[in-house]
């Protein structure tokens, strides 16, 4: 009896140690976030074990866990019709708001889910609920793209999949079939999906046939650059759930098919040290000492290495490619972009990617709304229903949908 008490106490202590992480009190529902983070971390550890045993790639294993827990088959209600189909060979899940006599033509949104270019699905509950809410509240047709993921495909195949599905949707006969107004179509995504949405928007304005086809882009805590992993938000959120800095750097390395041996060097910005000539001209485009306000930079200092590792960008030149890192695009490209919404969260390594992009777009003359949440954390927009319901999840989602309602 006594020994089982000791054992139980030890187990509880161990569980508490595993789950507890110090979080700022300004974060939304910190205890719930700790539990969510511990669950995600254990899934990651199980996947790493499966990888070490040689049974499967860790990202395949992790995605298998995520998708098997959360998959939802196509469904329909009086308000929304949901269909799984394919657009020019790319799988999509389409959400159609019910027809309204006063508004015969609907708005259209191409939605790209997040997950580090490697995880999640348009068919998991979280994204299914978000897209259904958009279709219903906006009376829109939402095309949620089931693009292929790492490690089946790498950069730039994810972009190609989204471009194919979007071009298919934009054809007059397809828009007609779905009763979509060709002048009211937007592109949107969260996290790595926000990265893909930003990349596709830049690609479309450079193509005479596609220019002006998208009315808005709405980016939710997008990933936008891989040159500086020491922006104030990266420094401030090194270990913040659900996206610690090292995890984000690994997603980049995986997407660009690089080598994990470089991760530690990239974390200290050795890949963009002053002796890396290829990066010199680009560094000014994400110079956060001039792009971010003092309220954000606080006392953080830039991390610039004099000598680093020149091999990294030689082996992974895509790090400097604006299609992978839309923040690196030239001003000349940015100035043609459509009206833009960018949502950022204080407790997120990617906060400053979003704020810097908003600033660059604004300087280029694009109309931008920067919607910042002081108690937000990375991923919160999809966490709106029990048991993973967060107050900031509901507020961010409402704010995002409201912007689309007023601007699309």
Ligand X SMILES: *[C@@H]1O[C@H](CO)[C@@H](O)[C@H](O)[C@H]1NC(C)=O
Q: Which residues are catalytic?
A: 191, 348, 378
Q: Which of 264, 331, 363, 398 binds ligand X (CB under 6 A)?
A: 264
Q: Strands 90-97 and 140-145: what pairing?
A: antiparallel
| CA 396 to centroid of chain Cα atoms | 14
Cα(76)–Cα(179) distance, rounded to whole angstroms?
Answer: 18
Answer for which of 114, 189, 308, 326 binds ligand X (CB under 6 A) is 308
Give the tokens for residue 372.
């910042």
Region of 203-211, 260-268, 323-331, 398-406 interacting with ligand X (CB under 6 A):
260-268
**CA gap 251, 118 in Å, rounded:** 8
Binding status of residue 17 toward ligand X by CB under 6 A = no
Smallest distance from the beta carbon of 406 to ligand X, in angstroms? Answer: 25
Cα–Cα separations (whole angstroms), residue 239 to 58, 186, 253, 347: 21, 34, 19, 10
Per CB under 6 A, does 42 bind ligand X? no
**181/362 with CB nearer ligand X:** 362
- Binding to ligand X, residues 282-301 (CB under 6 A): 283-284, 287, 289-290
Question: Which residue, 290 or 363, is less far from ligand X as judged by CB?
Answer: 290
245 or 339: whose CB is closer to ligand X? 245
What is the C-alpha to C-alpha distance for residues 381 and 395, in angstroms, rounded to an integer?
Answer: 8
Q: Is 389 in the site for ligand X (CB under 6 A)?
A: yes
Contacts of 359 (CB under 8 A, 6+ apart): 291, 292
Q: Is 77 a binder of ligand X (CB under 6 A)? A: no
Q: Does 29 bind ligand X (CB under 6 A)?
A: yes
C-alpha dihedral sign at 86, 87, 89, 95: negative
29 versus 346: smaller Cβ distance to ligand X: 29
Among 38, 46, 265, 364, binds ligand X (CB under 6 A): 265
CB 83, CB 128: distance < 8 Å: no
42 or 264, CB closer to ligand X?
264
Non-local (6+) Cβ contacts of 382 within 8 A are 114, 126, 127, 129, 130, 190, 393
Is 48 an interacting residue with respect to ligand X (CB under 6 A)?
A: no
| Interaction site with ligand X (CB under 6 A) | 29, 264-265, 268, 270, 283-284, 287, 289-290, 307-309, 386, 389-391
């Amino acid at each position: 009896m006594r020994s089982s008490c000791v054992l139980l106490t030890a187990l509880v202590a161990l569980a508490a140690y595993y789950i507890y992480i110090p979080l700022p009190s300004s974060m939304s529902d910190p205890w719930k976030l700790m539990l969510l983070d511990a669950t995600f971390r254990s899934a990651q550890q199980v996947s790493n074990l499966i990888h070490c045993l040689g049974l499967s790639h860790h990202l395949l294993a992790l995605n298998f866990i995520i998708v098997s827990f959360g998959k939802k088959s196509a469904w329909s209600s009086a308000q929304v019709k949901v269909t799984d189909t394919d657009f020019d060979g790319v799988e999509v899940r389409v959400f159609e708001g019910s027809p309204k006599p006063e508004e015969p033509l609907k708005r259209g949104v191409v939605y790209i889910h997040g997950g580090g270019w490697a995880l999640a699905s348009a068919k998991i509950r979280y994204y299914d609920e978000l897209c259904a809410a958009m279709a219903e509240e906006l009376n829109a047709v939402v095309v949620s793209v089931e693009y292929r993921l790492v490690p089946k495909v790498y950069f730039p195949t994810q972009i190609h999949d989204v471009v194919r599905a979007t071009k298919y949707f934009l054809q007059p006969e397809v828009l007609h079939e779905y009763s979509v107004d060709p002048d009211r179509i937007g592109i949107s995504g969260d996290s790595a999906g926000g990265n893909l949405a930003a990349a596709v928007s830049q690609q479309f304005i450079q193509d005479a046939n596609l220019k002006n086809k998208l009315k808005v882009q709405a980016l939710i805590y997008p990933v936008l650059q891989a040159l500086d992993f020491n922006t104030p938000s990266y420094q401030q959120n090194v270990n913040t759930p659900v996206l610690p800095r090292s995890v984000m750097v690994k997603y980049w390395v995986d997407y660009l098919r690089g080598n994990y041996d470089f991760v530690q060097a990239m974390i200290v910005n050795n890949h963009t040290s002053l002796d890396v000539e290829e990066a010199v001209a680009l560094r000014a485009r994400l110079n956060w000492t001039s792009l971010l306000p003092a309220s954000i930079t606080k006392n953080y200092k830039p991390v610039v290495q004099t000598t680093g590792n020149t091999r990294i960008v030689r082996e992974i030149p895509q790090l400097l490619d604006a299609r992978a890192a839309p923040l690196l695009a030239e001003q000349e490209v940015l100035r043609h972009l459509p009206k833009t919404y960018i949502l950022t969260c204080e407790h997120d390594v990617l906060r400053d990617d979003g704020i810097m992009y908003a600033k660059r777009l604004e300087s280029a003359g694009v109309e931008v709304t920067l919607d910042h949440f002081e108690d937000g954390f990375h991923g919160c927009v999809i966490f709106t229903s029990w048991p993973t319901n967060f107050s900031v999840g509901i507020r961010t989602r409402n704010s995002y949908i409201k912007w689309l309602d007023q601007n699309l």
